[in-house]
Each structure stands twice: as structure tokens, then as C-alpha cells.
Amino acid sequence: MEGKLSKRQTVYLPGSQSGMTVNITPYTLVKETLEEICTKLGIISQAEMEEYAMFALYEKGADNCIRLKKEEYIMDIITQMRLHQISCTLLFERICWYYPLHYDVISYDCTNMMYHQAIQLYLDGWLIALPPSGSKVPHKLTEDIIQIASLMWRIGTNDDEALHLDVCVEFVPDLVLTYKILSPTQIFDGMAKCLKHLDPMTSTELDFKIDVLDILRRWPMFGASFYKAKCQTEPKLGGKCILAVNRAGVHFLDSDSQKCVLSYPFTEVISTRKILTDTIEKLDFKVGNNRIQKIIQIETNQAGDIVHIIGQYIKVLNSCAKLSS
């Protein structure tokens, strides 16, 4: 009877066109499917599995992506969507980036997924913090931008003759040009020089993707989840801000330059409290230590997601501490 009720379901990973097929029954929990996919990807540690989540992407509505709770039944979710005639796609992503990238044990699909997640955040401009007005852009930053652009080009093609001035700018975030971090000519010249040292005969596409990840993982905002918010309780932020959460803690960024204004490690995040009103969603952060504490309040429509991701990092940190003790 159970076999007749089972269903083959496709779950899509970032960068994957075909997705990964899993078998589900009316009794299959999200947690069980998460663990099955993780195992297929070469992620066998229970603690590291906590860094991954599943989402339902549906066509109807503005906020069309919801995180699935681990105790939910997958088939119930799909059935409810179909009853309301809503097309639903299941996604699998890494949401915490605390543990190191184990290229030697994880599968190609896993590395490919992490590459596509990281590179999208990079191209959207989230990972670059602009220097203060009037300050010189660090040479290491421009060097990394050129290197990443070259690696991305090599991942896509070996035809270096196709590289032109109007093409090379597609491999850098828009803010690189908007804030004149590099000019199109500098990008083109830098890529042309760098590509001479990226031999497709001695390195594979996977090698180049790993090289990109190895560059980005050294950046302060690598692995962060970003949320737009407003803050009236902290003068240093001056209204609009960006909240970033990664393995280093909770960071409040300037909304224009994305420069980090305030930063708190998880050991200094005492509590979070979601406040719901008729018109707006607020989130209180109690931060500090045993001697000095304060509350930072932000307005955001993603309070639930923020509370969850902070909780996940703290859970991963606690699991890691238990393993090492």
C-alpha cells in the first residue's frame, strides 16, 4: 500500500537544470528529505546537515518563496498548492556557512550548488563593501574582482578571442562600474592578462569553481544572508540599513555603501523578539555582555526568516562546541 502512495519528486539545487529526484510518501517529513539529499551530496555529518534547508517556490504572490519547516509533511505542502491551483517548485539550498567547504568529500553537485549560490550574491553586489568616500579602493579587492571575472569566463568558455570590452563587464557586479572601482578597460586588460594563466588543459570547470569559492570565502560577508530593514533606534545607522547574518555574527550595514557600521558576534546576541502590529513587522535585538546591554529595533517584513537564521547559526555553533568538548 505504501508503495502505491509513494511519489517521485524533483528538488532543484542552485545551478542545476535537472534537479535531484527523491521518493516521498504521505508520511515523509521535510527533515527526512533534507537528510536524503545531503547524503547524496556527500554531507554525512548530522551537524552539517543543519546548515541546509528546503523552500517552496510558487508563482502566485509577491513573496513567492517560503522556507519549509522540518516537521512538515512534503506531500501535504504539494497537495495544498495544487488544490489552490498554484504551481510549486521545491528548492534545496545552504542557508548557514559555518562549516568549511569539504571539496574532497562532497559531490560535484554540492560544489556546483555552493558556487552558484555564492556567485549570485556576488554578482548582485551584496558581498562587496565600498571604501569610505575619498578612500582608495584596496588593491586586493580589485585583484580579486579581476580573478573572479576571469575564472567565470573560463568556466563558460575557452575562446579568449571572444572576450571584448562590452562583454567583460557582465562578469562583475554593477556597483563595480557605478562606483568606479574599476573601469571597463581595466576589467578587460586585467582579464586578458589573467586568462593566460588559467589553462583549461590542466584544470577542470570544477577546479575553477572551487577557485572562485576560495577567493570569496575570505571576504567578510561570505555566506551571509541579507535583509533590507529600517532602524530608528540606532543613530549610527540613520534609517535604512541592511542586516547581514553569517558565521561571524550579526552585522548592520550602511544601505548605500554596504560598509559595516555595527557588528555583533553570536555570543553578544542575547535575544531576538519579533513584534507584530497591524501595519508593520518589527524585530528587537538585545545585544551586549554581562555589563552593558542595549536593544536595537528594526522594521522588516522578514523578521521570521532573520530569527530562524540566527537560531540556526547558534544551533550549529552549539553542536560544534559539543563535538569539540
Mean pLDDT of the region 84-95: 88
pLDDT attached to residue 60? 53
Q: Which three cell numbers stand for residue 236?
A: 549610527
pLDDT attached to residue 2? 47
- State percent of the chain over pLDDT 70: 96
Mean pLDDT of the region 231-243: 90
Let me know if 100 is exposed, middle or buried by CB neighbors in 10 A (0-12, 13-18, 19+): exposed
Cα torsion 307, 310, 313, 318 to 10°: value is -90
Residue 67 CA to residue 308 CA, distance in Å, equals 10
101-132 pLDDT, tens digit per residue, is: 888 878 899 999 999 999 999 999 999 988 77
For the whole prediction, is pTM greater than 0.75? yes
Residue 72 CA to residue 79 CA, distance in Å, equals 13
pLDDT score of 224 more than 50: yes
pLDDT score of 290 more than 90: no
Who wins on pLDDT, 82 or 115?
115
DSSP secondary structure code for residue 106 in this structure: S
Mean pLDDT of the region 124-145: 88
3-19 pLDDT, tens digit per residue, is: 557 889 999 999 988 88
